Amino acid sequence: MISPSNYPACEHSVRFLVGIFLILLFGCGQYSTSAANISRKDILDSLFDGYDAWISPSFDKTSLRYSGRPVIDIIQLYILSIDSIRDTNMDYAMSFYFRQRWIDERLRYNESHGIDVIELDTKIMENIWVPDVYFVNEKQATMHDVTVPNKMMYLYPNGLVLYSARISGVFSCMMNLQKYPLDRQICSLRLESYAHSAKNLVVRWKSPAVEFSPTLQLPQFEIEKNHPSICDTLYMGINYSCILLDIHLRRNHGYYITQIYVPSALVVVLSWVNFWLTVDAVPARISLGLLTVLTTTTQSTSFFSNLQKVSYIKALDVWLAMCMLFVFAALLEFAYVNVTYRVTNRRKSIQDLPMFIHKNGDARFDSIFSEETEEKSHKIPHQTRNQQCGNKRTGVLGSLYSKEREKARNIDRISRIAFPVTFLVFNIVYWCVYFLWEPTHEPKTS
């Protein structure tokens, strides 16, 4: 037992030991924090010591010989916007995040330092090897650099490199316009390694291959689905790794229904007004017929000016050609009716001419119409003979005039039914065919 006299000495010893323990505790904590702070820089210095960004990770670090294992580059796209899909140039503009990940054994570091990821600055990224993947169907593209280059690179302890860049570009899209504007299109994005064969670099899609921004909207199309695939290609006997993304698009019909189909159909209906006008309204029927023909021609010219010139027939070609045929047929119908009516008018004028002559006392023209009456002229009075000839001519030509005029009117009556029924049948056939028929998606250009 400790005697009461020894209590102050023991208490002093305990306080001394506690003080030593606290000093050691705080000192080690500060040392470990300092070590963690300087280890990030030390790790980068050790990684870049002897690192060559010109050499692929598939080669041995020391002997520079092929290691037998290709670099597997896993790719994913995050599509921000599809700005425009142009039929005239057969291309589309798109902005997206281009994400890649691969393993570089030379960038492994010890995880025991407490650093699970190293975020690199854009200035240091140039010192890291990056796969030489390019877009095969790219027409024009840029990498954003406002306010700084829009690139990101993370390094993980196991040598995993995560790389992302924001890209905007215009890419070709070979379209099949046989059903335009009731069509569906497949726009592709093809990626390959430019210089490295499949022996050194293999590109593959991540699952999922594509992610779309929630705010993505297309003015003329709707995205139905996307289909990633592998398209490894052989160039000059060398196999190159390739991946392909097909974006299936369906064109919205609203704009074309209101701006093309409905106006052109109304012009066709307007041409039928000719059938309800009288046969005598020649100026009105000519003006209406020519107006509908010229309007249809102007519509066709304006619509086709914004389309690619292709060698095959499009759905819009069929529609506008049939509309032109209907309005032109209505104009030809008026021409036939007018000719028939003019023949009867000419005959009526010939009928009225002798009557006018007889009223003015000139009987020499009676022989033109009736030789039999002229032979009997010495037996009856002159005035009675004129009256009989006039009545005979009036009966024959008047009957013929009424018959021909009725024939012209019957043509109009038949056209009032035949034209609308024929146009209705054409519409049924047209819409059934182009909504049910699906052409092959092989690109066809002029």
More confident call, 443 vs 82? 82
pLDDT band at 338 (very low <50, low <70, confident <90, very high): confident
Q: Is the per-residue pLDDT at 136 higher than 70?
A: yes
Q: How far apart are CA 327 and CA 291, in angstroms?
A: 10
**CA-closest candidate to residue 102, choices 161, 152, 36:** 161
Write out pLDDT tens, residues 69-116.
899 999 999 999 998 899 888 999 999 999 999 999 888 888 767 788
**CA-closest candidate to residue 221, choices 261, 251, 263, 179:** 251
**Residues in contact with 395: Cβ distance below 8 Å, sequence separation at least 6, in sequence order:** none
Name the 3-class secondary structure at 362: coil
**CA-closest candidate to residue 183, choices 341, 93, 317:** 317
**Mean pLDDT computed over 319-335:** 93
**CA-closest candidate to residue 204, choices 219, 223, 191, 187:** 191
Q: How far apart are CA 433 and CA 421, in angstroms?
A: 18
pLDDT band at 32 (very low <50, low <70, confident <90, very high): very low
So what's the pLDDT on residue 235? 87
Q: How far apart are CA 93 and CA 121, in angstroms?
A: 29
Q: Is the per-residue pLDDT at 118 higher than 80?
A: yes
Q: Is the per-residue pLDDT at 251 higher than 60?
A: yes
User: What is the arrangement of strands in the sheet containing 221-230, beginning at the earlier edge strand?
Assistant: 133-135, 184-193, 242-251, 221-230
pLDDT band at 34 (very low <50, low <70, confident <90, very high): very low
From start to end of 402-446, where are the E strands?
A: none
Where b means 16+ CB within 10 Å and e means fewer, 286-303 reads eebbeebbebbeebbeeb
So what's the pLDDT on residue 31? 44
Write out pLDDT tens, residues 205-243.
999 999 999 999 898 899 999 999 999 999 888 899 999
Q: Is the per-residue pLDDT at 386 higher than 80?
A: no
